[in-house]
């Protein structure tokens, strides 16, 4: 098995279209497996049946982090990927990413914005490089990095400083040795997962890499979204997770990461 794609899912029927996009555009054939994790619910919509799709049902809601951990725990691929349940992928995205990925990399790709009603890319600029910042003094966040877009526009596969986190890929061995699993204590069930993985990767000598030779499209924020449960949306829980991430990684960010990137 070359690639396992884990999709944490909470009652979003667009999960089926996400699965279909991965299946129809795959160049890995039977070396691809897709693992939608039904996070404490049985769907009211019809699930896609295909030998390459393996559903995991959690008896109770664990939140996004717990659902990703559950999916990765049964993954068989040399590489693992996480996708949100409302994403569309370029044809051949799976093979392009696996062929490029190195043992100590987390990878993402060029990101477009998806109109989920038309299931089509929106006429908006794509996102390549992002800068890791502390937004409003309360949380880690990615910020468009237009100067790096211009300076490094001809580099196809390049290091970047931040990613949205809706889609990423890494070797399963890197997850096992460095990430371990996404921590729920402190962070809570839902937030700052991409930043936790980035900091762990940097501390272990790895890199966050952007592949501009392929793309995915993520549902635009102007359309309604589903979340793992009501507690994930609770402002107090959200702020507690943000604070925990800053308390854990703030000093490392200021003394190591910012100087390295000269930001």
The domain limits of the chain are: 3-261
pLDDT tens for each residue of 108-127: 999 999 999 999 999 999 99
The stretch 181-210 carries a mean pLDDT of 96
pLDDT value for 205: 98
Q: What phi, psi does 231 have (nearest 5°)?
A: -65, -30
N-to-C CA span, the chain: 40
Q: Give which of 148, 206, 127, 143 is closest to 174, Cα–Cα.
A: 206
The highest-level CATH class for domain 3-261 is alpha beta
Q: What is the mean pLDDT of residues 43-63?
A: 96
- pLDDT of res. 229: 46
> 152-187, pLDDT tens digit by residue?
999 999 999 999 999 999 999 999 999 999 999 999
**Average pLDDT score over residue span 221-227:** 77
Residue 258 reports pLDDT greater than 70: yes
Measured CA to CA, the distance from residue 20 to residue 3 in angstroms comes to 16
Look up the pTM and report it.
0.96
4 pLDDT above the threshold of 50: yes
Average pLDDT score over the chain: 95
What pLDDT sits at residue 181?
97
Tokens linked to 84: 């949100």
Q: Residue 228 pLDDT more than 60?
A: no
Count Cβ atoms below 10 Å from residue 27 Cβ, excluding itself. Answer: 14
Distance CA 87, CA 111 (A): 10
Q: How far apart are alpha carbons 15 and 88 in whole angstroms?
A: 10
**Which candidate, 11, 6, 8, 7, places its Cα nearest to that of 225?**
11
Provide the pLDDT for residue 227. Answer: 56
Residue 27 has pLDDT above 70, yes or no: yes
Burial class (CB in 10 A: 0-12, 13-18, 19+), 154: exposed
pLDDT recorded at residue 214 = 98
Q: Is residue 235 scored above 70 in pLDDT?
A: no
pLDDT value at residue 1:
97
Q: What is the pLDDT of residues 65-80, one digit of tens each?
A: 999 999 999 999 999 9
Closest CA to 91 of 258, 215, 225: 215
Average pLDDT for residues 188-197, to the nearest whole number? Answer: 93
For residue 201, pLDDT beyond 50: yes
Instruction: Give the pLDDT confidence score for residue 234 in this predicted structure.
Output: 59
Q: How much is the pLDDT for 238?
A: 85
pLDDT mean over 228-248: 75
Rounded Cα distance between 205 and 77, Å, is: 23
């Amino acid at each position: 098995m070359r690639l396992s794609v884990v999709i944490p899912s909470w009652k979003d029927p667009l999960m089926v279209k996400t699965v279909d996009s991965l299946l129809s555009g795959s160049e890995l054939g039977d070396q691809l497996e897709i693992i939608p994790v039904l996070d404490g619910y049985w769907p009211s919509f019809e699930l896609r049946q295909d030998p390459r799709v393996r559903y995991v049902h959690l008896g109770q809601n664990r939140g996004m982090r717990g659902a990703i951990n559950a999916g990765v725990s049964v993954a068989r691929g040399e590489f693992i990927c996480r996708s949100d349940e409302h994403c569309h992928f370029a044809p051949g995205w799976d093979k392009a990413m696996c062929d490029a990925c190195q043992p100590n990399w987390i990878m993402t790709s060029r990101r477009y914005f998806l109109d989920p009603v038309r299931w089509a890319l929106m006429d908006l600029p794509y996102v390549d490089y992002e800068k890791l910042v502390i937004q409003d003094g309360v949380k880690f966040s990615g910020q468009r990095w237009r100067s790096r877009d211009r300076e490094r526009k001809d580099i196809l596969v390049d290091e970047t400083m931040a990613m949205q986190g809706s889609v990423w890929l890494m070797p399963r061995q890197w997850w096992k040795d460095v990430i371990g699993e996404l921590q729920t204590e402190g962070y809570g069930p839902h937030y700052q997962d991409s930043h936790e993985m980035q900091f762990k990767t940097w501390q272990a000598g790895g890199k966050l890499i952007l592949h501009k030779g392929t793309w995915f499209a993520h549902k635009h924020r102007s359309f309604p979204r589903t979340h793992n449960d009501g507690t994930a949306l609770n402002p107090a829980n959200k702020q507690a997770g943000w604070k925990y991430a800053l308390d854990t990684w703030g000093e490392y960010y200021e003394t190591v990461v910012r100087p390295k990137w000269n930001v």
